[in-house]
Structures are given as structure tokens and as C-alpha cells.
Structure 1
Amino acid sequence: MILKNLNYPLDFKFKITTLSSDFNITDVHGNYVCYVRQKLFKLKENVVIFSDESRTNELYTVKANQWIDFNASYTMREASGNPVGTLARKGMRSFWKSTYDVLDLNKRPLFQITERNAWTKFLDGLVGEIPIIGMFTGYFLNPVYDVKDTTGRLIFELKKMPSFFGRRFQLERKVDIADEHETLVVLSLLMMVLLERERG
């Protein structure tokens, strides 16, 4: 199964009415791309992607490969169980700038997701601890993530949009790539958003 013919930009918008970290992905016309649900109370990350909010048609799953892993990785699969690829967090590098590798079925790097400005992460952690003021960091400390291929070419740009309660990200595609690679990148970014959601 492939996510294709997507109309960019895509909006990632978290729901604020549920305990779980659910969010919708919609296209520029407001049409559903998918609905993302992170299962609560799991020792390992367990994310299910549905076609829409009714949760009747499961498309993909994303599961952590380790219980506790500094360089954690997450396998993405179709609902049938067929693997799509892997998202791997770069542990030490992510202390300064959030960095993830997007790997193919043979664990070979295809793309890298990197936070554009390391100071955004630093200031968010610093200002976020200040009473009252820290509540408003989502309006002025918004990270941008670049997705580049192995040649350094910019493929996608994911921006955290200013928001207070509802957390919203917007994804722009810069160049066309193969449908299966596009699906892998979108799945990787939705998982990364869940991992980075506590910021801003």
C-alpha cells in the first residue's frame, strides 16, 4: 500500500480532546491522508495509522525495535505485516539537533531528517522551564526539520506552526520522488512528530 497523489502542503494537527497522542494528516484541500493513533500505556512505542478518524481501515503500524535504546529505531509496516522501512534516531547527535535516519528494507540510509536550527531546541528547553512564560513557547520557538537525500538535496521541509493548545505541523514537498520513498518519508515524519511532540 502506498500513499500517493498527495496534495501538498500536508497539515499534521493534534487532537486536544483525547488522552492519547492522536492527530490527523490532511492535504491542502482538507481531505484526509490518514489518522494517527499512538496506543497508550505501552512499554514500547506502538503507533497505528488509519485511513481516517473512524479507525475502521488500518493502513500501517510503527513499532519500536527495543525496550530502551539510546539510538532507538522504529519499524514501519503495512497492515498486512510487510515491512516498509525503518526510522532510526541518532542518539548523541540528537542531543544538540534532532537527527533521524530513514532506512530502506536493507537498513541502508535513504534520507536524513535534521533539525535546521539547534538553538531552537536549546532555547525551548531553557524557556520552557520558566513558569507562565514557558506555556507560550509554542508561539515563538517553532523548529523546522529538513529531509535530505544522501546527496544533500532537500526533499521535504516540516515546520512546527505557531500554536498554543493544538499542536500543528506543516509538510512541504520540495522535489518529486518515487511514491514508495514518499510514503516512507511521510511515515517517518509522523513518527518523529510523536517523538518530538513535547517541544513547543
Structure 2
Amino acid sequence: MNRPIAGLMMRQKITMMVNRYRITPLFPDGSEGPLIAFAQQKRLKLREEVAFFTDESKTRIAFSFKSRNIIDMAATTDVLDAEGRPIGVFRKDAARSLLNSTWYLEGPGVQATGRERSQKVAVVRRFGGMLPIVGDLLDLVPWQFHFDFVNPAGETVFVSERQRKVRDEYRLLLPVFGQGRQLDWRLGAAMGVALDAFQGR
């Protein structure tokens, strides 16, 4: 992608056995570009593996991610380019996620910890479902859960914001940090899909 971007828009389409994601670029002037990646995640797999294609014809892989182990709460997942070379890794911190979902993200020159922005939303989503009737009502709520990923210097390197819509739609922001650096958009897209697909675990 030759034109600088400020982030990505990710829209999900849910089907019976597959989650599909359309990813488009967001430019600094607020405009949105054409499709740059199309991903699908098959459910009920023992090891998570998601391919991101260049378009909806699914003829050419742009990048992918794959968990190293059979699914567990803290499996490390590798993000790979079209030739299978590493772009970065991410993993969930199972213990810290009991009260607030916590993720670790690493890429070239980047190490960041991501957490849900609202502790209140995190707690209600987890424990409200245990109450009779309340849990059924909460299932109907299109939660606006947001994640902020911050590096050891306190700089925000990635943001995932769920939009207030019934269909899952996310703004994935890629702020400039440090000496003019920016997270690889492919790593941001992979992390965005994982935050949606794995969040119930």
C-alpha cells in the first residue's frame, strides 16, 4: 500500500460455520479506501488458523495467522506474510483476562500490551451473564468494547474500537509513535480479527 493510512475498517459477516471479515484502509483525511484484505475464520477448529486474501475471490493469500498449539487460553499465535515469513506474534494473558481481557502483541520494533478500555464493561460482560434473565438480555447488547495497546514507553501503538452497530464493525487505528514508526497494518488486521473471534474464550 503506497498511500499512508491512519487505520483500518473491519466489517464482519457471520455465517453458519465461518466468520468473514472485510478490511479496508482508513486515510488521515477520514476517507475509506477499497478492500485490501478478506479473511475467513472457520469455527470449531482445534488450532486457530486464519488466511487473509487479497480479495473476496480468495485466489491469493496476502498474509495469515496460526496458533502454535491446540487452542488454549494463552496460545501464542504467529502472524505470517504471504511467503510464510514472520510478521509478529500475539497471545492472550489468561490470568489477567479473568477481570479485564489482556493481550500481548509483538512485531519488528514493537512490544505492546492491550487491555479493554472500560473495566466496567469488562466486568459486566463477564459476570452479568451468570444472572438469570439478565444474561439473556446481555446477549442482545452490541457491546462497545474497545482495546488500547500501549508500549513500555506509554505510547499507544494500536487501538480497536467496536462501533455501535448490530453487525460487528471495528475501527482499527494505527497511530504513529516513537520516531515516526507505525504498526504493520497486517499485524493490526490480524490482531483485530483475533480480538473479535477469540473474545468469548
Quote how far apart the aligned CAs of 1:57 are.
Answer: 1.5
What is the alpha-carbon distance in structure 2 between the residues aligned to residue 48 and residue 73 of structure 1? 17
Q: 1:144 matched to which residue of 2?
A: 146
Quote how far apart the aligned CAs of 1:156 are.
Answer: 2.7
Contact 2:13 2:19 in 1 (8 A): yes
AA at the equivalent of 2:187: L
Larger helix percent: 1
2:18 to 7, 17, 20: 20
Q: 1:133 matched to which residue of 2?
A: 137
Q: 2:29 matched to which residue of 1?
A: none
Quote how far apart the aligned CAs of 1:160 are.
Answer: 1.0
Quote how far apart the aligned CAs of 1:31 are.
Answer: 1.2
1:36 to 34, 39, 49: 39
Count of aligned pairs: 191
Contact 2:63 2:82 in 1 (8 A): yes
AA at the equivalent of 1:122: V
Per-residue deviation, residues 45-90 of structure 1 (Å, max 9, x unmatched): 1110111211112011211111143321101111211111110111
Contact 2:93 2:102 in 1 (8 A): yes
TM-score by length of 1: 0.81
Where does structure 1 lack aligned partners over 5 or more consecutive residues? none
Quote how far apart the aligned CAs of 1:180 are.
Answer: 6.2
Q: 1:52 matched to which residue of 2?
A: 55
What is the alpha-carbon distance in structure 1 between the residues aligned to residue 76 and residue 129 of structure 2? 27
Contact 1:22 1:38 in 2 (8 A): yes
- Relative to structure 1, the CA distance from residue 123 to residue 67 in structure 2 (aligned partners, 3 Å threshold; closer, same or farther) is same
Query: What percent of counterpart residues are identical?
Result: 21
**Considering only aligned residues, what root-mean-square deviation do their CA atoms show, in Å?**
2.6
AA at the equivalent of 1:171: L
Q: 2:87 matched to which residue of 1?
A: 84
- Is 1:163–2:165 an aligned residue pair? yes
What is the alpha-carbon distance in structure 2 between the residues aligned to residue 4 and residue 127 of structure 1? 46
- Relative to structure 1, the CA distance from residue 33 to residue 178 in structure 2 (aligned partners, 3 Å threshold; closer, same or farther) is farther
- Relative to structure 1, the CA distance from residue 41 to residue 143 in structure 2 (aligned partners, 3 Å threshold; closer, same or farther) is closer
Bigger shift: 14-23 or 128-137? 128-137
Contact 2:157 2:182 in 1 (8 A): no
Where does structure 2 lack aligned partners over 5 or more consecutive residues? 27-31
What is the alpha-carbon distance in structure 2 between the residues aligned to residue 174 and residue 68 of structure 1? 31
What is the alpha-carbon distance in structure 2 between the residues aligned to residue 35 and residue 132 of structure 1? 32
3-state SS of 1:190 partner? helix
Contact 2:176 2:182 in 1 (8 A): no
- Relative to structure 1, the CA distance from residue 32 to residue 21 in structure 2 (aligned partners, 3 Å threshold; closer, same or farther) is same
TM-score by length of 2: 0.81
